[in-house]
Structure 1
């Protein structure tokens, strides 16, 4: 009986090993490595180009090269871990992944690029482009958006919530202030939709957008052990600067969204032990640089 048991285990392990190697063999890692090297060269060239036109033209080549690489069979399994200017996030259920990156413009604004790649059984490409329409979107916090009408951001984390996904994104918005975004992604009739009214404190909001000085940093991260999303409380330096976001920054207190019941439940002024920083007691002074008290992206 014991002999039969161990024989069965060995047979099962052998089958698993063969299956894994069969999947790995379907990915041409040598070819994908060459594609990644091409993207790495383009990435370096974009960084040193001086004019907007040159950077955008080279980024167009980058986009075409990336899409060509993803046409390789089972390219979904390749991580592109050498690239630094592009973020690749996999959904927790591994049903899709999101590419996102930005191009800096000389006027202090940014253009965003992205795509959602769905995992397919046959390894063929299923790609949904994300088209940045930031400055065409009216009332972006309340707008329900599609991939071709995207409030562009560079996403750095993802967490499931009910039948949706919560995305955290950095968005260098313009020369004066930066944004962080809590985006909600979900499927509707097998199509990706951006935005969903899951914020219990703001029932009309499809997403949350935080504006703060370009000289500041905002803490916005998942606290997974406690099933919550922790973020800096952002305020103006004083009431006279209300609405002038280049004078907004963290006030050293924290709020949280609890991820419960498929909703984001706001809890204000939560205790949170962030790593101490030498500038923690510095004041936000209008006209002067706001100390980078906490890390973001």
Structure 2
């Protein structure tokens, strides 16, 4: 009887393994189609064609992710969209952007959860940036997401709660570029929530920053200002911005001056550090130089 059970178990395991392998073959073929549609969605010069390809891409992506154990498939050839994994591999996020008229951009995305049974569990993300004047001031669900192309996910925990910090890019419009530090958590129903009141400015000499649920970093178009996580410093590091025309409120005039600010995780908060290299003038070996920005470039 024991031998019979082992034989049956072995046959079932072989069938399951074969099925997963067959799914990978099917997904690979579907990926080729996704790649073609994604390229047209990004690079086609005709707006209507880009919009149609975007709709087709959304439908095709959902169809692919419906395949059993699709989370295990890496989609390595989809270079025109971003696929970022949580550090604990609990989920991954697909994000991409569509260029509309006058160089205005809208983001799209989906969170795919890593389920034990291989069944699809996704949360579509709907960009609501254009429907709010203050996109930094609220906690939002997936239907009211502040869109960004994510290039880094960090994980921190505090008092039993997990916080996933998302670093993202928004090409925004022809005047400015935006980068975001957002925070992703999951509520009691395991639904995603974006934003959290955990940004503090207690070390700033002048407390001018209002409470925010996500951090906006906006600067002159093509200014190439840096915002990324530096593992050696264990900080989120970003360029200090100044106005070229003495108009600090005018985002299209803001450029880097070669100094750096940052955020440090402390007791469940991202605490702002106004000048993380303030002591380097007297002691240049105090801290290592920040790394080059490793975010992707779609164009």
Settle same-fold status: TM greater than 0.5. yes
Looking at structure 2, the residues matched to 41 and 128 of structure 1 have their Cα atoms a distance apart, in angstroms, of: 24
Question: How many Å apart are 1:264 and its aligned residue?
Answer: 0.9
Looking at structure 2, the residues matched to 236 and 91 of structure 1 have their Cα atoms a distance apart, in angstroms, of: 36
Question: How many Å apart are 1:83 and its aligned residue?
Answer: 0.7
Are 1:106 and 2:101 counterparts? yes
Are 1:26 and 2:33 counterparts? no
Q: After superposition, what is the alpha-carbon deviation per residue over 1:37-83, rounded to whole angstroms, capped at 9, x for unaligned?
A: 01111122234422222101111001111110001100001111111
Question: How many Å apart are 1:242 and its aligned residue?
Answer: 2.5
Looking at structure 1, the residues matched to 186 and 42 of structure 2 have their Cα atoms a distance apart, in angstroms, of: 35
* Superposed counterparts of 1:197-236, under 5 Å: 197-201=197-201, 204-236=211-243
Question: How many Å apart are 1:104 and its aligned residue?
Answer: 1.4
TM-score by length of 1: 0.82
* Superposed counterparts of 1:123-138, under 5 Å: 123-138=118-133
Aligned to 1:171: 170
Select which of 104, 112, 116 maps to 2:111.
Answer: 116
Looking at structure 2, the residues matched to 24 and 265 of structure 1 have their Cα atoms a distance apart, in angstroms, of: 50
- Runs of at least 4 residues off by over 3 Å: 21-25, 294-297
Select which of 217, 236, 259 maps to 2:265.
Answer: 259
**Structure 2 unaligned residues grouped into runs of 5+:** 1-12, 202-208, 278-287
Looking at structure 1, the residues matched to 253 and 233 of structure 2 have their Cα atoms a distance apart, in angstroms, of: 32
Aligned to 2:289: 273
Aligned to 1:152: 147
What secondary structure sits across from 2:38 in the alignment? helix
**Structure 1 unaligned residues grouped into runs of 5+:** 1-18, 277-293
Aligned to 1:290: none
Aligned to 1:196: 196
Name the Cα RMSD after superposition: 2.3
Looking at structure 2, the residues matched to 155 and 114 of structure 1 have their Cα atoms a distance apart, in angstroms, of: 10
Report the count of equivalent residues.
262
Distance 1:91 1:193, change over 3 A: same
What secondary structure sits across from 1:141 in the alignment? coil
